[in-house]
Structure 1
Amino acid sequence: MGLKDDLERYREVGEQRRQDLADFIQYGDLGQSRRDEVRVPIKIIDLPEFEYDQREMGGIGQGQDGTPEPGDPVGQPEPGDGDEEGDPGEEGGDHEYYEMDPEEFAEELDERLGLDLEPKGKKVVEEKEGDFTDITRSGPTGTLDFERLFKEGLKRKLAMDFDKDFVRAALKIEGWGPTKVFEWARSEENLPVSRSWIENAYDDIPNGDRTQYGSLAEMTASVEREETARRIRREGVDQIPYRREDERYRYPEIIEERERNVVVVNIRDVSGSMRQKKRELVERTFTPLDWYLQGKYDNAEFVYIAHDADAWEVERDEFFGIRSGGGTRISSAYEVAMERLDEKYPWTDWNRYVFAAGDSENSSNDTEKNVIPLMERIDANLHAYVETQPSGNAINATHAEEVQQHFDGSDNVSVAYVTSPDDVTDAIYDILSTEEGDNER
């Protein structure tokens, strides 16, 4: 095994030591990743490397340049040198990162959670030719299906061929002539023989041989009949009787390439009640969902909307950290979302996901009167609401429950509850499995 093999082995071990994907989502440092690059921590493994030879750098006890002579005091030990006691280190172990793109992240999350969400294509952007699997009766000569033509001709050959020696023998029965043999061949033997062929064959038989057999029974007992298929295998085929109606031409199947676009609208409550732990739970849930959908679709765009009593669009970098001291009116965010989607992301061309999160506290009657009707009006592959209440449900935290009760049994609305990082992967599964179950919408 060479040095290159050793290095590859070390890298494989490093990948195996990376943080488990579920642990990373629940407890890892998501901030080290970007939207298009997921960085999962792994413990550093020192790779083998060359070092300079130390033997020419002086030895021990040389007594030069201030080096103590044997027996000289060397002073007090430095703090920490050889001291087994003391405060434990404050820094964690060194880490590097295993980098994966969103597509790899989506594949691994599918495997980890047992999902297999199939992206939906929307608008047809291209029609291309697939395999030549379809058949038509006309086409360019180059697409003629010769194998099919040969098979059709061969079947006709088998149907039209007959044992000519057997028919000639019938012409040698005493009292039989061309007319009698033609009627016998057609009606009793179902042989595809023509009258003209029989007459020509009869003319070729000498007069003395035309009374060789006294009866049909005597002829059939004397002449061994040979099946057509056996005779063709023995003699081969000189020609195949092709006809124009046997011609079939191959043409390619037309495959529609559909554009798999997705827009993800992330809505977050930034009101005064959304304290740090609640905000962290929102980030831990929404960030993997963004990575997952970006990895699944060809083209992914994201809209981030923050709201208290009012709503406004923000950039991703400020979405998870922004905080306001105002009240809460969740419908304001759905109003902005609907306007933004209708303006730039029409339902006919885009797959649309609307994810909202907060502590379920909402202004009086806003959920029933405004939010639910807006959710019904906004066409989307999936609407999801994630309630983040680290201490459990608050008395006035009823939004998630109201949405869940109204859309109970719906195939495009999901409600998840997250009280701690332990709940995050379950919430992601609940959300994505809801959309997965409606894969043919």
Structure 2
Amino acid sequence: MGLKDDLDRFSDVGEQRRQDLSEFISHGDLTGSSPDRVRVPVKIVDLPSFEYDRRSMGGVGKGEGAQPGQPVSVPGEDGDGDGEEDGEPGDESGDHEYYEMDPEEFAQELDEELGLDLEPKGKRVLEEIEGEFTDVTRTGPDSTLDFEELFKRGLKRKLATDFDGEYVREGLRVSGADVDDVYRWARGKRIPVSRAWIADAAADLAGETDRWESFEDLEEHVEREPVSVRLRQEGIQKIPFRREDERYRHPEIIERRQKNVVVVNIRDVSGSMRERKRELVERVLTPLDWYLTGKYDEAQFRYVAHDAEAWEVERGEFFGIQSGGGTRISAAYELAAEILEEYPFEEWNRYVFAAGDSENSANDTRERVIPLMREIDANLHAYVETQPGGGAVNATHADELLEAFGDADDVAVARVSEADDVTDAIYEILSTESDTE
């Protein structure tokens, strides 16, 4: 096995020994990642290196100062190759200490780990292209006339309008029967014959005209020949085509749609949202951002902070803000509704994710938040309650949402009281969306 094989094996082992995804989301350092690159720590794996063979103490190439078992120093590996002193082992972290994945891989692995199967909808139409000639229209150029369809329609008419003429002529031989009598008898037998045809047949009729005492006598002695049998015996000499039978092949118009999404993340920044609560919010919302970035062709994220008022912020400050104000969650939904006007629901998949400690001003949830959630068209509304150590007496927002929406397939409510609850909350949110799809 050569050095390259050793390095490849190290890479494989490193990937296998990277921090478990659930463990990373719940307890790992999320700050080392970026929106387009997720860095998952890898448990330490020793790099392969050369060592002197203890059995060979001399010989050409030994050099001075080398001791048995001492690793070989490779120029440029620990320094720049120009005589810098070697650093101590483990002084600096190397690339091998992280496993990097793009959001697409992160989404795929999270699907596998949590057992999810979310298939995003394509919404915005990018272009329309002509597909195969699978559609048909009543008009079109002669070159696209569908002869097979024309033949089928003509043949159906032939089978529907053909009848056993000799059988009908026998009706004219019923004693005392005239053209009208025969016509009524034939139509009663569901024979598709016209009165004019019977009149012409009567004019040409030769031979005895009172062969049968009644139509019942005729039916008892003469068997009506099915059209299909007669056509097989005699063949089809002529098929009656009509203009309304014409169909023209037309290419199917295929719309290529982009899978795009906008996510409005809402966070309570009031005085009650202490550091531990803010950390739990970040641990839930950040992986959701990565996941949706990996699932969609285009993903845009907007961040709304609120206490008693609401304002839009950049992602970099979203998780760190804390104010000393009160709480009015409806202010955030009012701003979210304004933001989403820029993203028509017929063109964008839309998510509204809110998080806080479930504390809200009196009656705001029932009178303002719930009606706003019903008015805002979204693939999914989610609320994440972060209450380490259990809920406070006045933390009722999540309970009121559950009471109002119950098992609605576009509203998810998750509770996080400790880091180990994070992946369960993420599953609750994403599985609700998956069921909706």
Shorter chain as denominator, the TM-score bin is: 0.5 to 0.7
Aligned residue for 1:113?
114
Stretches of 4+ moved more than 4 A in 1?
49-57, 89-95, 131-146, 186-189, 191-194, 247-252
CA distance in 1 between partners of 2:408 and 2:313 (Å): 30
Aligned residue for 2:344?
346
Give identity over the alignment, percent: 69
Provide the secondary structure at the position in 2 that maps to 1:423: helix
Deviations 1:205-239 (A, max 9, x none): xxxxxxxxxxxxxxxxxxxxxxxxxxxxxxxxxxx
CA distance in 2 between partners of 1:189 and 1:280 (Å): 82
Deviations 1:286-307 (A, max 9, x none): 0011111111111110010111
1:127 deviation in Å? 1.3
Aligned residue for 2:19?
19
CA distance in 2 between partners of 1:411 and 1:60 (Å): 70
Aligned residue for 1:364?
362
Change in Cα spacing, 1:19 to 1:308, as seen in structure 2 (3 Å) is same
**2:5 maps to 1:5:** yes
Aligned residue for 2:33?
33
1:143 deviation in Å? 8.9
Provide the secondary structure at the position in 1 that maps to 2:436: coil
CA distance in 1 between partners of 2:395 and 2:117 (Å): 33
Aligned residue for 1:103?
104
Q: Which amino acid aligns with 1:331?
A: S
CA distance in 1 between partners of 2:66 and 2:409 (Å): 78
Deviations 1:399-439 (A, max 9, x none): 11001101112111111100011111111111111111111
1:24 deviation in Å? 0.9
CA distance in 2 between partners of 1:377 and 1:334 (Å): 10
Gap regions ≥5 residues in structure 2: 53-58, 68-89, 153-228, 238-242
Deviations 1:33-54 (A, max 9, x none): 0111111111243443568999
Aligned residue for 1:156?
none
Aligned residue for 1:286?
285
Aligned residue for 2:387?
389
Aligned residue for 1:58?
64
TM-score with structure 1 setting the length = 0.65
**Mean CA deviation greater in 302-311 or 128-137:** 128-137
Contact 1:41 1:98 in 2 (8 A): yes
Pairing of 1:389-428 with structure 2 (within 5 A): 389-428=387-426
CA distance in 2 between partners of 1:193 and 1:31 (Å): 81
TM-score with structure 2 setting the length = 0.66
Q: Which amino acid aligns with 2:426?
A: I
CA distance in 2 between partners of 1:422 and 1:406 (Å): 28
CA distance in 2 between partners of 1:404 and 1:252 (Å): 49
> Alignment RMSD, CA only?
3.8
Q: Which amino acid aligns with 2:322?
A: R
CA distance in 2 between partners of 1:403 and 1:193 (Å): 72
Provide the secondary structure at the position in 2 that maps to 1:437: helix
Deviations 1:158-196 (A, max 9, x none): xxxxxxxxxxxxxxxxxxxxxxxxxxxx989925599xx
1:259 deviation in Å? 2.3
CA distance in 2 between partners of 1:54 and 1:288 (Å): 57
Number of aligned pairs?
A: 329
Change in Cα spacing, 1:4 to 1:134, as seen in structure 2 (3 Å) is farther
Indicate which of 220, 228, 233 corresponds to 1:190.
233
Q: Which amino acid aligns with 1:295?
A: G
CA distance in 1 between partners of 2:392 and 2:423 (Å): 23
Q: Which amino acid aligns with 1:308?
A: D
Pairing of 1:22-421 with structure 2 (within 5 A): 22-48=22-48, 57-59=63-65, 96-131=97-132, 190=233, 192=235, 252-342=251-341, 344-421=342-419
Q: Which amino acid aligns with 1:113?
A: L
Q: Which amino acid aligns with 2:117?
A: D
Provide the secondary structure at the position in 2 that maps to 1:371: helix
Q: Which amino acid aligns with 1:58?
A: E
Provide the secondary structure at the position in 2 that maps to 1:324: coil
1:350 deviation in Å? 1.2
Contact 2:14 2:96 in 1 (8 A): no
Change in Cα spacing, 1:60 to 1:289, as seen in structure 2 (3 Å) is closer
Contact 1:44 1:94 in 2 (8 A): no
Deviations 1:126-149 (A, max 9, x none): 112345656789999999999x99
1:375 deviation in Å? 0.9
Change in Cα spacing, 1:90 to 1:406, as seen in structure 2 (3 Å) is farther
Q: Which amino acid aligns with 2:108?
A: E
1:116 deviation in Å? 0.9
CA distance in 1 between partners of 2:114 and 2:18 (Å): 18
Q: Which amino acid aligns with 2:42?
A: I
Change in Cα spacing, 1:139 to 1:10, as seen in structure 2 (3 Å) is farther
Gap regions ≥5 residues in structure 1: 62-88, 153-185, 195-244
CA distance in 2 between partners of 1:368 and 1:288 (Å): 30
Q: Which amino acid aligns with 1:41?
A: P
